């Protein structure tokens, strides 16, 4: 029994570990420098890791008629990129140059080799020596004006993190802020409108009597599993029909021809709102109706006797009592719309400034292929809002999940 | 009753026409009238730009603030219109009934009562008919047409004709769908059950559950980016190592664990055939939390007396789980299973994000997208081909849909509503 108990801890810890590692990878990569993020895996970011760096011995025209040039490799490396300062120990420098050919003394051969600290190497006729702490001296036999030399140093680098990627995607790159705003434009109405419409319908299905009510309800709910892909093309054709009609109307009503702005886009935020609203109906009506139908019937009856009409009953009694169900569906819908790629791809706006976040991320998988720190930072930004909403309203979300799939009541 | 039918019909029609005319007009008018708000926001942006050190240049600032202004009024107007509908139609219903059936209060309320339900369910039903039912049938008819409208079965030729467009792709998509269908729900349910059981028996279970649960809030594309760090291959610099002298590293954790050299930078999810399993794993990672939460609740709902009886009879933990608890949550397992099956059949984002055009990784939904973009060989027939694949997707979902409808109907009967 004791063994079994500790085994439980180990197995669960292992699973949790597997679940966490990708998050660690995401956040670590987003906090690294561009070079580090695309050179070495995220797990090397926590320990000193040998990476290659290029530095110039000095600036052009900085040194005149001198015999000794001295400096520090780390100072040279950090003079520009101060946000990810390089520190650590210099292991070696790559020597690229000609040495006399051991087989044929009249010729030279081109060699590349790693020169360790303390060993003299011949750079432009001078003796170049460096120490592991980065100090170097470059000694010439006579007064000279050497040109700066670019050298590759291999440095066992200490861990360094910074928020540069976030600054860049949020303030220098236009796409991420635009995607963020677009996602809000799409998500907020596409959450509130379906809840409003579905709550009224759910109230009618629960507490009003009209012919065909039960069958209509079954049909509505069974539409829940119809793949939305089935509807995309006709919806798109419908919207382009409306758009061309609206274009003509605009031409007729306004002087848009002068500014060449008559075109009404068929794929727009409005088409996304309506489509998301329609696609959300079956689940929303199902969840809300099952909640509303279980509210005490006496409330309705006494309100009817007091002369309240249905709209008053709905707004004064049903809505306040249904807050938990409304909250759980609104989280569902918020997460679903915020994270949706396929509906936005087919129905949503496709110009660069109006793309929603998942489409932007999908594009960035290509454009930021070599800037993994930016890709990961952008992904983190896209996740912050849904994760906060999700964690803070977890209780309602779970309740909705359970109502939706465990039982019908 | 008979005498008020015309009144009901007349009032209903009047309300419908008013709404159909009034709401779009109001929406357009509100948008046009509120346009100056964008300029106001642009000016605020310029003011900020001038008074603070913005990294954005002025043009972009104006663009950004205009967009925020647009966002605000778009949200307010769209939400306002949907509230307006219910308010106006309710008001009209009462007003019209009062005007047209003067005197008889009973008649009035009868008219109101018969129209009111349709005002409430009207928008929902209209949307469902316009955006799900009619399009579904339109897609069906589109799939049996040439681009010019003549009837044909050519769009389905990929089912039997090896020379038809999409023959190979369809087979690969079906093969992959089958693998996804078997593996993803099985893994999610097994892992979900395991975690639910384990987490309920340790003190830090709630933390473990929260962590397993979080991926549910993340988009599939986000999940793809997250797992790219684990599955993708060597970095740029790593490939350009100088004569093998410089140190080089893998970018992907799993590839590093598998011992792949940095120069071998093929992502694991691009591997022929085996790549599918890495894509599946991403979905398992996202959806296990869903299975876990539901099983966790269901297990807690298992009647305590059955557990006590089993304990008295000396059941081992394994017997307790497999003989007592699991049979009692069996229906929950089935529900989770069907939910996951529908999710898998409609899966699009993960393969689309990571291996968009690779035939070897196709699923039906990604095959549809490919049909639209890549196979424009049959002239303007792409849309029809798209429709026929959509129908195939629907056919795979139908057994599930029938099962769900049956289940819901049965539940309604049990509850007695």
Which pLDDT score, from 0 to 100, does residue B32 have? Answer: 84
Expressed in percent and rounded to 5, the helix, strand and coil fractions of chain A are 60, 15, 25
Q: Which of B117, B250, B417 is opposite residue A208, by nearest beta carbon?
A: B117
Query: A307: phi > 0 → left, psi -120 to 50 → alpha, else beta; which?
Result: left
Segment B49-89, tens digit of pLDDT: 777 766 667 777 788 888 888 888 888 888 888 888 888 88
Is pLDDT above 60 for A2?
Answer: no
Whether residue B151 lies inside any domain: the answer is no
B-chain residues near A361 (CB < 8 A): 219, 221-222, 225, 353
Place of tokens 């929950």: B332
Nearest residue on chain B to A45, judged by CA atoms?
Answer: B251
Mean pLDDT estimate for chain B: 82
Beta bridge partners of A98: A110
Q: Are the beta carbons of B67 and A181 separated by less than 8 Å? A: yes
Which pLDDT score, from 0 to 100, does residue B288 have? Answer: 93
Per-residue 3-state assignment (H helix, E strand, C coil) for B240-269: CCCCCCCCCCCCCHHHHHCCCCCCCCCCHH
Which pLDDT score, from 0 to 100, does residue A199 have? Answer: 92
Is pLDDT above 80 for B217?
Answer: yes
Nearest to B154 by CA among B377, B396, B366, B360: B377
Q: How many structural domains are present in chain B? A: 2
Which pLDDT score, from 0 to 100, does residue B374 have? Answer: 66
- Element (H or E) spanning A57, and its range? none
Whether residue B299 lies inside any domain: the answer is yes
Residues B369 and B302 both lie in one domain: yes
Which pLDDT score, from 0 to 100, does residue A276 have? Answer: 93
Which pLDDT score, from 0 to 100, does residue A292 have? Answer: 86
Q: Are the beta carbons of B219 and A339 separated by less than 8 Å? A: yes
Q: Are the beta carbons of A230 and B294 separated by less than 8 Å? A: no
Is pLDDT above 50 for A122?
Answer: yes
Arithmetic mean of pLDDT, B40-57: 78
pTM of the model: 0.87
Confidence of residue B377 (pLDDT cuts 50, 70, 90): very low
* CB B158, CB B392: distance < 8 Å: no
In chain A, CATH 1.10.3720.10 sits at 167-405
Q: Which of residues 134-163 of A touch B (CB under 8 A)?
A: 152, 154
Whether residue B160 lies inside any domain: the answer is no
Which pLDDT score, from 0 to 100, does residue B2 have? Answer: 52
Q: Percentage of chain B with pLDDT > 70?
A: 90
Give the minimum alpha-carbon distance from A328 to chain B in angstroms, rounded to a whole number: 14
Could you tell me the CATH number of the domain that includes residue B354?
A: 1.10.3720.10
Residues B97 and B198 both lie in one domain: no
Which pLDDT score, from 0 to 100, does residue B242 have? Answer: 54
How far, in Å, CA of B170 to CA of B279, rounded? Answer: 19
Residues B283 and B178 both lie in one domain: yes
C-alpha distances in angstroms, B299 versus A407, B324, B338? 14, 10, 19
Residue B237 touches chain A, beta carbons under 8 Å: yes
Q: Are the beta carbons of A229 and B393 separated by less than 8 Å? A: yes
Segment A337-377, tens digit of pLDDT: 999 999 998 888 888 888 899 999 999 888 888 788 899 99
Q: Are the beta carbons of B294 and A222 separated by less than 8 Å? A: no
* CB B338, CB B403: distance < 8 Å: yes
Segment B298-316, tens digit of pLDDT: 888 888 888 888 888 887 8
| Backbone phi and psi for residue B262, each to the nearest 5 degrees, phi listed first | -60, -30
Segment A145-200, tens digit of pLDDT: 778 888 888 888 888 888 888 888 888 888 888 889 889 989 998 999 999 999 99
How far, in Å, CA of B242 to CA of B205, rounded? Answer: 49
How far, in Å, CA of B96 to CA of B112, rounded? Answer: 9
Residues B109 and B207 both lie in one domain: no
Nearest residue on chain A to B251, judged by CA atoms?
Answer: A41
Whether residue B105 lies inside any domain: the answer is yes
Residues B133 and B281 both lie in one domain: no
Residues B284 and B360 both lie in one domain: yes
* Domain end position, chosen among B82, B108, B143: B143
How far, in Å, CA of B49 to CA of B15, rounded? Answer: 49
Residues B227 and B127 both lie in one domain: no
Residues B343 and B197 both lie in one domain: yes
Q: Which of residues 75-104 of B touch A (CB under 8 A)?
A: 75, 78-79, 82-83, 86-87, 90, 94
Residues B392 and B300 both lie in one domain: yes
Return the beta strands (E) in A131-170 as ranges: 135-144, 150-157
Its domain, for residue B22, covers 2-143
Confidence of residue A407 (pLDDT cuts 50, 70, 90): very low
| Backbone phi and psi for residue B264, each to the nearest 5 degrees, phi listed first | -90, 95
Residue B162 touches chain A, beta carbons under 8 Å: no
CB pairs under 8 A between A and B: 367
Give the minimum alpha-carbon distance from B384 to chain A in angstroms, rounded to a whole number: 9
Residues B308 and B171 both lie in one domain: yes
Question: Among B7-11, B31-35, B238-242, which is the least confidently predicted range?
Answer: B238-242
Residues B124 and B199 both lie in one domain: no
Q: Are the beta carbons of A235 and B365 separated by less than 8 Å? A: no
Which pLDDT score, from 0 to 100, does residue A1 have? Answer: 47
Give the residue with greater pLDDT, A166 vs B101: A166
Q: ipTM of this complex > 0.85?
A: yes
Token pair recorded at residue B125:
């039903």
Residues B314 and B400 both lie in one domain: yes
Whether residue B402 lies inside any domain: the answer is yes
Arithmetic mean of pLDDT, A36-42: 81
Whether residue B258 lies inside any domain: the answer is no
Whether residue B244 lies inside any domain: the answer is no
Whether residue B26 lies inside any domain: the answer is yes
Q: Which of A20, A201, A279 is opposite residue B211, by nearest beta carbon?
A: A20
Mean pLDDT estimate for chain A: 84
Arithmetic mean of pLDDT, A235-263: 82
Is pLDDT above 80 for A133?
Answer: yes
Domain A167-405 in this protein, CATH class: mainly alpha
């Amino acid at each position: 029994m004791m063994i079994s108990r500790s085994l439980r801890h180990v197995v669960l810890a292992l699973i949790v570990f597997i679940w966490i590692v990708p998050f660690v990878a995401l956040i670590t990569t987003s906090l690294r420098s561009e070079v580090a993020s695309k050179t070495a895996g995220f797990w090397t970011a926590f320990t000193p890791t040998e990476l290659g760096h290029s530095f110039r011995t000095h600036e052009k025209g900085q040194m005149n008629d001198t015999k000794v040039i001295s400096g520090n490799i780390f100072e040279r490396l950090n003079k520009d990129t101060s946000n990810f300062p390089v520190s650590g120990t210099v292991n070696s420098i790559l020597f690229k140059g000609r040495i006399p050919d051991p087989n044929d003394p009249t010729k030279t051969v081109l060699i590349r080799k790693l020169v360790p600290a303390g060993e003299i190497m011949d750079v432009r006729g001078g003796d170049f020596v460096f120490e592991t702490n980065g100090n170097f001296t470059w000694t010439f036999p006579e007064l000279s004006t050497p040109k700066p030399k670019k050298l590759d140093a291999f440095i066992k680098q200490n861990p360094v993190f910074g928020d540069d990627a976030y600054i860049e995607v949020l303030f220098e790159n236009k796409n991420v802020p635009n995607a963020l705003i677009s996602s809000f434009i799409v998500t907020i109405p596409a959450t509130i409108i379906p809840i409003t419409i579905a709550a009224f319908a759910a109230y009618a299905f629960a507490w009003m009597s009209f012919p065909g009510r039960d069958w209509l309800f079954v049909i509505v709910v069974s539409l829940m599993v119809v793949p939305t892909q089935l509807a995309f093309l006709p919806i798109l054709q419908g919207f382009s029909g409306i758009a061309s009609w609206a274009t003509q109307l605009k031409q007729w009503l306004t002087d848009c021809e002068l500014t060449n702005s008559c075109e009404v886009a068929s794929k727009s935020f409005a088409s996304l709102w309506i489509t998301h609203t329609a696609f959300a109906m079956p689940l929303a009506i199902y969840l809300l109706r099952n909640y509303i139908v279980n509210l005490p019937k006496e409330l309705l009856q006494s309100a009817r006797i007091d002369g309240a009409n249905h709209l008053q009953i709905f707004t004064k009694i049903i809505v306040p009592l249904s807050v938990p169900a409304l909250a759980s569906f609104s989280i569902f819908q918020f997460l679903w719309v915020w994270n949706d790629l396929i509906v936005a791809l087919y129905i949503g706006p496709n110009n660069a400034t109006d793309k929603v976040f998942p489409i932007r991320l999908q594009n960035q998988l290509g454009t930021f292929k070599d800037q993994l720190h930016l890709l990961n930072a952008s992904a983190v930004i896209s996740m912050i809002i849904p994760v906060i909403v999700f964690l803070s309203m977890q209780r309602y979300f779970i309740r909705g999940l359970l109502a939706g799939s465990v039982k019908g009541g | 009753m008979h005498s008020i039918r015309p009144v009901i019909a007349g009032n209903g029609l009047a309300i419908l026409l008013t709404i159909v005319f009034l709401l779009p007009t109001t929406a357009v008018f509100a948008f046009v009238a509120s346009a100056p708000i964008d300029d106001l926001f642009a000016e605020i942006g310029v003011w900020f730009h001038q008074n603070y050190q913005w990294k954005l240049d002025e043009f972009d600032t104006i663009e950004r603030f205009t967009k925020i202004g647009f966002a605000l009024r778009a949200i307010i107007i769209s939400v306002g219109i949907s509230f307006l509908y219910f308010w106006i139609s309710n008001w009209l219903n009462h007003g019209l009934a009062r005007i047209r059936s003067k005197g008889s209060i009973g008649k009035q309320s009868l008219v109101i009562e018969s129209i009111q339900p349709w005002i409430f369910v009207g928008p929902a039903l209209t949307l469902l008919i316009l955006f799900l039912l009619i399009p579904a049938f339109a897609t069906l008819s589109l799939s049996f047409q040439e681009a010019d409208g003549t009837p044909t079965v050519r769009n389905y030729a990929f089912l039997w004709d090896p020379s038809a467009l999409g023959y190979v792709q369809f087979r690969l998509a079906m093969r992959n769908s089958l693998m996804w269908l078997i593996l993803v729900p099985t893994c999610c349910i097994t892992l979900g059950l395991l975690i639910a059981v384990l987490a309920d028996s340790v003190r830090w279970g709630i933390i473990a559950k929260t962590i397993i649960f979080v991926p549910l809030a993340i988009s599939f594309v986000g999940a793809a980016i997250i797992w790219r760090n684990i599955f993708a291959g060597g970095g740029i610099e790593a490939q350009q190592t100088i004569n093998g002298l410089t140190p080089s590293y893998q970018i992907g954790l799993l590839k590093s664990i598998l011992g792949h050299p940095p120069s071998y930078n093929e992502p694991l999810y691009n591997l022929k055939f085996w790549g599918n399993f890495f894509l599946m794993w991403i979905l398992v990672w996202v959806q296990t939390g869903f299975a876990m939460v539901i099983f966790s609740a269901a297990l807690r709902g298992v009647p305590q007396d059955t557990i006590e009886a089993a304990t008295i009879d000396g059941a081992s933990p394994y017997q307790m789980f497999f003989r007592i608890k699991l049979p009692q949550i069996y229906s929950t397992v089935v529900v989770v299973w069907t939910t996951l099956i529908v999710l898998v059949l409609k899966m699009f984002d993960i393969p689309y994000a990571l291996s968009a055009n690779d035939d070897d990784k196709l699923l039906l939904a990604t095959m549809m997208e490919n049909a639209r973009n890549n196979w424009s060989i049959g002239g303007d027939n792409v849309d029809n081909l798209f429709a026929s694949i959509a129908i195939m997707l629907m056919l795979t979902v139908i057994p599930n849909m029938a099962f769900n409808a049956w289940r819901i109907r049965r539940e309604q009967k049990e509850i007695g509503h």
